[in-house]
Amino acid sequence: MKNSNILFEAKNGIGFIRLNRPEKRNALSYPMIESMYKQLLEWKNDDNVAMVLLEGEGDKALCSGGDVVHLREKRYSNIDEYAFGFFYTEYCMNMLIFTYPKPIMSYMTGFVMGGGVGICVGTSHRIVTEKTKWAMPEMNIGLYPDVGGSYFMNKMPGQIGRYLALTSKPVKPADVLYIGAADYYIDTSSWKELRQAIVDKRWTLDRAGERLNELISQYSKELPMVSPLAGLEEKINYHFGFDTMEEIVDSLRQAAEKGDEWADDVVKTIFTKSPTSLKVTLKQLGEGKKKTMKECFKMELEMSMNFMHYDDFFEGVRAVLVDKDRNPKWNPPTLEEVKQEVVDSFFNYIWEDGKNPLEDFQI
């Protein structure tokens, strides 16, 4: 049965993927993830498809993230089985995109967040526009930056990955380019013409990536503004270079008391997040530095399964996505009350056969 929330077409050597859920800012549902993963696998070995073009319906979002409300709805109804299917399929798809043997072009206009970042960050040709709003906002719902965040956020300059993970701050196109999460900037007014130029070509496996790069370069331009994150990098590196959340917060507080408005805003933002999620995420990023991409996703699968038995996640989904009161009640409510053994427990999940299922994923 076809899923009308995601559309596929192949012509002229191009595989088209269009997320078709504009009323939800093209959020990824479980069936959409299953369909996209299956289609990418089929096109991977199809010599008639030389490249893939990923876009979202409407002008508000490529993809605003994974649709996690359904996980809350399944909380008391076999959550482990359902959550495993969702996260396992999503992470397999993410890894497939990172290792895809053919060019994938992602048109990242509008909201590109969470699961939306996950389907774009590993693509080979990533385009941002003046409307791009990029974020890893999982901390807002008491979760952690998954979909490979352990891997790609560690590759950002300095401590910027930590800063974006722990604060969930959204960034605009100049910053997305600076952190290495995009390759080209174009104006939205140029997209229709560029897309038509791509459609009009007959694509073959020979030099497809090189030819695509040449074509996009005809429409891309230099941004007139510098990255705000670049200007803040020295501060970010200083405050977010500590080993514990308490030290990071204390450093920001001291700067705020001396009149640093940026530090004051950041520390206030951090205090709105789940203390447990903050500490788990800091450990996640530290562990990710030592791991390969596949090892990062294996770790995240275990973390995600453990988060399904964590009250703060369901409370965060309620506060942000269901009731939308933006007033979550975290438990425990302070960093000092989060025990290290609780943090450590998120990194060990007991599988029935003793083996992480992603171990068998072939890269």
Tokens of 203: 């694509």
Residue 361 is given by DSSP the state -
Q: How many domains does the chain have?
A: 1
142 counts as catalytic: no
* Number of Cβ atoms within 10 Å of the Cβ of 233: 18
Q: 246 and 336 in contact (C-beta within 8 Å)?
A: yes
In this structure, is residue 1 part of a structural domain? no
Tokens of 36: 């996209």
Q: Which of 57, 67, 90, 146 is catalytic?
A: 146
CATH number, domain with residue 129: 3.90.226.10
Question: Residue 148 — left, alpha, or beta (φ > 0 → left; ψ -120 to 50 → alpha)?
Answer: left
> What percent of the chain is predicted at pLDDT more than 70?
99
Given the structure tokens 């076809």, which residue do they identify? 2
Q: What is the pLDDT of residues 293-309, one digit of tens each?
A: 999 999 999 999 999 99
In this structure, is residue 84 part of a structural domain? yes
Residue 122 is given by DSSP the state T
When pLDDT is cut at 50, 70 and 90, the band that residue 224 belongs to is: confident
In this structure, is residue 328 part of a structural domain? yes
The pLDDT of 89-118, averaged and rounded, is 98
Tokens of 199: 């459609």
Cis omega (within 30 of 0) on the bond before 328? no
Query: How would DSSP label each residue in 230-281?
Result: HHHHHHHHHHTTSSSHHHHHHHHHHHHHTT-HHHHHHHHHHTTS-HHHHHHH
Whole-structure pTM value: 0.95
Tokens of 346: 């998120």
What's the confidence (pLDDT) of residue 118?
98
118 lies in which domain range? 6-360
In this structure, is residue 187 part of a structural domain? yes
- Nearest one of 23, 93, 80, 92 to 54, comparing CA atoms: 93
Backbone φ, ψ for residue 314 (5° rounding):
-70, -35
What's the confidence (pLDDT) of residue 334?
97
Query: Minimum mean pLDDT among 1-15, 41-55, 106-120, 243-257: which range?
Result: 1-15
Q: 144 and 307 in contact (C-beta within 8 Å)?
A: yes
What's the confidence (pLDDT) of residue 54?
98
In this structure, is residue 320 part of a structural domain? yes
Query: How would DSSP label each residue in 44-60?
Result: HT-TT--EEEEEESSSS
115 counts as catalytic: yes
Q: What is the pLDDT of residues 236-289, one digit of tens each?
A: 999 999 999 999 999 999 999 999 999 999 999 999 999 999 999 999 999 999
Residue 208 is given by DSSP the state H
Can you name the residues that pair with 184 across neighbouring β-strands?
Answer: 127
- Does position 76 have pLDDT exceeding 90, yes or no? no
When pLDDT is cut at 50, 70 and 90, the band that residue 2 belongs to is: low
Query: Minimum mean pLDDT among 225-229, 306-310, 330-334: which range?
Result: 225-229
* Number of Cβ atoms within 10 Å of the Cβ of 34: 17
66 counts as catalytic: yes
- Does position 206 have pLDDT exceeding 50, yes or no? yes
The pLDDT of 346-361, averaged and rounded, is 94
The pLDDT of 78-85, averaged and rounded, is 93
Residue 11 is given by DSSP the state E
Q: What is the pLDDT of residues 92-106, one digit of tens each?
A: 999 999 999 999 999
The pLDDT of 211-239, averaged and rounded, is 94
What's the confidence (pLDDT) of residue 363?
77
- Nearest one of 176, 160, 24 to 108, comparing CA atoms: 176
Mean per-residue pLDDT over the chain, rounded = 96
Q: How far is 292 from 26, CA to CA, in rounded Å?
A: 30
161 counts as catalytic: no
CA-based max dimension of the chain? 62
- Beta-carbon contacts of 77 under 8 Å, excluding residues fewer than 6 positions away, are none
In this structure, is residue 124 part of a structural domain? yes
When pLDDT is cut at 50, 70 and 90, the band that residue 78 belongs to is: confident
Q: How far is 2 from 6, CA to CA, in rounded Å?
A: 9
In this structure, is residue 108 part of a structural domain? yes
Q: 145 and 165 in contact (C-beta within 8 Å)?
A: yes
The pLDDT of 42-48, averaged and rounded, is 97
In this structure, is residue 177 part of a structural domain? yes
- Does position 357 have pLDDT exceeding 50, yes or no? yes
Q: Which of 67, 138, 175, 302 is catalytic?
A: 138
Q: What angle do CA 313, 317, 321 make, to 5 degrees?
A: 165
Residue 224 is given by DSSP the state S
Q: How far is 358 from 2, CA to CA, in rounded Å?
A: 27
- Does position 109 have pLDDT exceeding 90, yes or no? yes
- Does position 348 have pLDDT exceeding 90, yes or no? yes
Q: Which of 65, 115, 142, 148 is catalytic?
A: 115
Q: How many residues does the chain have?
A: 363
Q: How far is 271 from 58, CA to CA, in rounded Å?
A: 35
Query: Minimum mean pLDDT among 34-38, 44-48, 224-228, 266-270: which range?
Result: 224-228
When pLDDT is cut at 50, 70 and 90, the band that residue 1 belongs to is: very low
Q: Which of 65, 66, 114, 148 is catalytic?
A: 66
